[in-house]
């Protein structure tokens, strides 16, 4: 637009008459002949091109070979009598629902499913998520030196190799170890007296840092004006936490639960190093039971069937979390 307040040089009276008519009179838009001929069809609408499909065929086939192929093959092996060593190591065949029938009558399998749920829910979904959230909230208002010190200690337990963490807790839990001294029971070997509790606490100790980092990042991204408005309205710390902070963190909480579930559902190294599923079968989670059946008793077909059940449990839990995330948005 022309500004009449900037001086006489920019007034409409000083604009040439030809230019004035050019900018003031409406003009009709002349469409190209090609556009007129193609009237009724948008030029910017997506079109399928055969060359694009040809370019995508190779990576799609490669991904299918790497991911879908092994899943389908494992699904087939779960219905066979394949063995690692024995008469059915080379000559094996499809056995139908024989492994499923064996699975339903397997007492150790039922116990393994129950122990797996206890391990995942207790040490992962509840333990790691809850303690990680508490640590993130406390460190948010802590002094920088204290925040850095606590964060470094918690993260160190997470970044060390899992086999190292397992040996640390193996030493902690023995008779005369740190756990016994703290609980005033130095003669107790907690890997025998409370094996599942000890394994769950060790997993909680190692994996809490992941949830703490996730929640710390989410807390830093919360809108400050919402928290300031709640404080101006006179809301207490607990009211701000339960009415403002936690509702804003709900999508992050659900996402963290999904990731923690996937990470803990297949945990093998920590449990196998500490107890190897024992004493007896008191810590025989599904990953340990799969290893025992497939590589100790050489029943690869039956071990594959158990692994399919583990995949099914993970898929069901993941679907529930994904639906919850979708409903919170």
**Is this structure's pTM higher than 0.75?**
yes
Separation CA 46–CA 44 (nearest Å): 6
Residues 6 or more apart whose CB falls under 8 angstroms from that of 180 comprise: 173, 174, 186, 187, 188, 190
> What number of other Cβ atoms are within 10 A of residue 127's Cβ?
21
Q: What's the DSSP call for residue 310?
A: H
Angle made by CA atoms 56, 58, 63, in degrees to the nearest 5: 95
For 141-166, the pLDDT digits (tens) are: 888 888 889 889 999 999 999 999 99
For 3-25, the pLDDT digits (tens) are: 444 444 444 444 444 444 444 45
Strands (E) across 66-146 are located at none
For 67-124, the pLDDT digits (tens) are: 888 889 999 999 999 999 989 998 999 999 999 999 999 999 999 999 999 999 999 9
Mean pLDDT of the chain, nearest integer:
85
Which among 145, 139, 127 is positioned nearest to 267, based on CA atoms? 127
Separation CA 127–CA 120 (nearest Å): 9
Given a cut of 80, whether residue 325 has pLDDT beyond it is no
Mean pLDDT of 205-218: 94
- CA Rg, the chain, in Å? 32
- What is the per-residue pLDDT for 205? 95
Q: Please, is 182 exposed, middle or buried when counting C-beta atoms within 10 Å of its C-beta (0-12, 13-18, 19+)? A: exposed
Which among 199, 201, 39, 25 is positioned nearest to 127, based on CA atoms? 201
DSSP string over 21-36? HHHHS--PPPPPHHHH
Residues 6 or more apart whose CB falls under 8 angstroms from that of 106 comprise: none
Cα–Cα distance list, 305 to 71, 89, 112, 148, 285 (Å): 12, 17, 14, 46, 15
- What is the per-residue pLDDT for 45? 57
Cα-Cα-Cα-Cα dihedral of 202, 204, 209, 212, to 10°? -160
**Token output for 274:** 């500490």
Which among 124, 167, 165, 127 is positioned nearest to 265, based on CA atoms? 124
Given a cut of 90, whether residue 213 has pLDDT beyond it is yes
Given a cut of 70, whether residue 189 has pLDDT beyond it is yes
For 264-315, the pLDDT digits (tens) are: 998 999 999 999 999 999 999 999 999 999 999 999 999 999 999 999 999 9
Given a cut of 90, whether residue 168 has pLDDT beyond it is yes
């Amino acid at each position: 637009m022309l500004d009449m307040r900037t001086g006489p040089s920019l007034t409409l009276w000083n604009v040439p008459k030809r230019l004035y008519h050019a900018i003031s009179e409406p003009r009709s838009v002349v469409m190209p002949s090609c556009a007129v001929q193609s009237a009724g069809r948008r030029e910017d609408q997506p079109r399928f091109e055969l060359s694009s499909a040809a370019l995508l065929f190779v990576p799609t086939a490669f991904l299918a070979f790497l991911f879908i192929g092994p899943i389908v093959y494992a699904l087939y092996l779960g219905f066979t009598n394949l063995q690692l060593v024995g008469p059915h190591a080379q000559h094996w065949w499809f056995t139908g629902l024989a492994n499923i029938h064996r699975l339903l009558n397997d007492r150790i399998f039922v116990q393994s499913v129950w122990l797996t749920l206890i391990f995942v829910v207790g040490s992962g979904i509840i333990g790691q998520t809850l303690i990680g959230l508490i640590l993130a909230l406390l460190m948010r208002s802590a002094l920088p030196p204290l925040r850095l010190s606590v964060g470094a200690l918690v993260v160190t337990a997470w970044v060390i190799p899992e086999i190292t963490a397992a040996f640390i807790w193996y030493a902690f839990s023995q008779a005369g170890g740190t756990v016994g001294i703290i609980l005033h029971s130095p003669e107790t070997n907690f890997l025998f007296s409370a094996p599942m509790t000890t394994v769950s606490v060790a997993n909680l100790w190692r994996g809490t840092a992941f949830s703490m980092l996730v929640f710390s990042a989410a807390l830093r991204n919360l809108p400050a004006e919402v928290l300031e408005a709640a404080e101006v309205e006179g809301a207490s710390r607990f009211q701000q936490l339960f009415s403002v902070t936690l509702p804003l963190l709900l999508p992050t909480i659900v996402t963290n639960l999904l990731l923690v579930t996937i990470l803990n559902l297949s945990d093998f190294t920590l449990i196998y190093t500490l107890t190897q599923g024992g004493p007896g079968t008191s810590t025989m989670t599904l990953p340990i039971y799969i290893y025992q059946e497939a590589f100790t008793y050489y029943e690869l077909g039956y071990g594959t069937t158990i692994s399919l059940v583990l995949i099914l449990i993970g898929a069901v839990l993941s679907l529930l979390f994904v639906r919850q995330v979708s409903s919170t948005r």
